[in-house]
Amino acid sequence: MMARLLKSREALLAGAIALLLALVSWRFPGFVAPENLARIFNDTAILIILALGQTAVILTRCIDLSMAANLALCGMVAAMLNAAAPGIPVGALLALAILTGAALGAINGALVWQLGIPPIVVTLGTLTIYRGLIFVLSGGEWVNAHQMSEPFKDFARAELLGLPVLSWIAFLVVAAMAVLMTRAPLGRAFYAVGGNPTAAIYAGIDVGRTRFAAFTLAGAIAGLSGYLWVSRYAVAYVDIAAGFELDIIAACVIGGISIAGGIGSVGGAVLGALFLGLIKNALPVVNVSPFWQLAISGTAIIIAVVANARAEGRARRIILRKAEVLA
């Protein structure tokens, strides 16, 4: 029953995306040209990757507000190392960014796991700390395109079989996360812990350790995205991706990931991110000021939250249901 409801959510979202595409292409046929769709996908790739990391965390009934700050810090570390020592191969920098991100995520996870501090407080704190560390590290200086080596900048933009590497990485992450979430014990543990922590304990799942794993995974994904972001835009400074943490959560919520944990799918998160990316790219085409984007995604979030609440089935409580809502 739950699976059917979830499926309908993804179908609904896919329908909304198709409708949006149809509406825009009715007036501007060029919008649905394959190369333009590929461009939009590439533009949304980083959001998709990040939303999948956040999905793991939200599934365990936690939240990570520090992902964008983590991304910016890892991006800055990679960029500064590249500027200082252009000889270091891109692969090593990529690995370093992922490890740094994982370490920062592990700090979040350890504070939640070992000290039992609520995740929203922990990541609110580390959000400002990580963002501040970028300033300490860089002294407020920018790392500009001319300071970066060519391979460093080309990595995300290089084309492979007609698509940029960035898009391929997004595909890879989506596939890996889909396998993890549906086939691996850890992925199933994410669902178990978020769905019912007490039952998870009786099932032999270590709740704290699972949450620690989710935060570390989200951190590694933020680190990967950090390198991709800096490589794609060829610039690193203190404020890159500032406020992006809310876009990531918005993508998850629109994708049907329940903030109460335990409900959601990789497909939903991907569609949620694509929906936001599509709006962002469609607005200039239909000649609407880009200033409308924020209000539209806000409305989309509110509608999605209402839809999520209905899908979560509040039917469980029978007594006094009416008193819970405003009389």
Partner 1 sequence: MSSAKRTPMVIPDRLESRFAAGLKSWEMLLIAVALAVFAVNALASPHFLNPWNLSDATFNFTEKAMIAMAMALLIIAGEIDLSVAAIIALASTAMGLALQFGADTPVLVLTGLATGLLCGAFNGLLVSGFALPSIVVTIGTMSLFRGIAYIILGDQAFTGYPSEFAYFGQGYAWWVFSFELALFAAIALAFGILLHATSFGRLVYAIGNNPTGALFSGIRVARVKFILFLLTGLMSGIAAICLTSRLGSTRPSIALGWELEVVTMVVLGGVSILGGSGSILGVVIAAFIMGMVTFGFGLVNVPGIVMSIFIGLLLIAVIAAPILWRRLRGEGFA
User: Under the rule (CB under 8 A), what is the footprint of partner 1?
Assistant: 61-63, 65, 111-112, 115-122, 124-129, 131-133, 135-136, 140, 193, 197-198, 200-201, 207-208, 211, 238, 243, 246, 249-250, 253, 259-261, 289, 291-302, 304-306, 308-309, 314, 320, 323-327
The minimum distance between CB 93 and partner 1, in angstroms, equals: 25
Instruction: For tokens 């995604």, name the residue.
Output: 297
Cα 312 from chain centroid (whole Å): 22
Angle at 182 between CA 4 and CA 12, to 5 degrees: 35
For partner 1, give the closer residue by CB, 173 or 304: 304
The minimum distance between CB 240 and partner 1, in angstroms, equals: 14
The minimum distance between CB 121 and partner 1, in angstroms, equals: 5
For partner 1, give the closer residue by CB, 82 or 210: 210
Nearest-angstrom CA–CA distance, 233 and 262: 35
For partner 1, give the closer residue by CB, 160 or 325: 325
Nearest-angstrom CA–CA distance, 163 and 169: 10
Nearest-angstrom CA–CA distance, 61 and 309: 15
- How far does the chain reach from its first CA to its final CA, in angstroms? 31
Instruction: For tokens 């595409």, name the residue.
Output: 21
For partner 1, give the closer residue by CB, 253 or 269: 253
For partner 1, give the closer residue by CB, 3 or 326: 326
Residue 160: its H or E element: strand 159-160
The minimum distance between CB 293 and partner 1, in angstroms, equals: 7
Nearest-angstrom CA–CA distance, 195 and 189: 10
The minimum distance between CB 295 and partner 1, in angstroms, equals: 3
The minimum distance between CB 112 and partner 1, in angstroms, equals: 7
For partner 1, give the closer residue by CB, 155 or 190: 190
Residue 164: its H or E element: strand 163-164
For partner 1, give the closer residue by CB, 69 or 78: 69
Answer for the pair 102, 223: CB distance below 8 angstroms, yes or no: yes
The minimum distance between CB 33 and partner 1, in angstroms, equals: 29
For partner 1, give the closer residue by CB, 164 or 255: 255
**Around Cβ 36, how many Cβ atoms within 10 Å?**
15
The minimum distance between CB 109 and partner 1, in angstroms, equals: 12
Q: Which residues contact 270 (CB under 8 A, 6 or more apart)?
A: 48, 51, 52, 174, 255
Nearest-angstrom CA–CA distance, 113 and 208: 5
Q: Which amino acid is at 78?
A: A
Number of H helices, E strands in the chain: 14, 2
Residue 236, φ and ψ in degrees, nearest 5: -135, 130
Max distance between CA atoms of the chain, in angstroms, equals 68
The minimum distance between CB 203 and partner 1, in angstroms, equals: 12
For partner 1, give the closer residue by CB, 274 or 304: 304
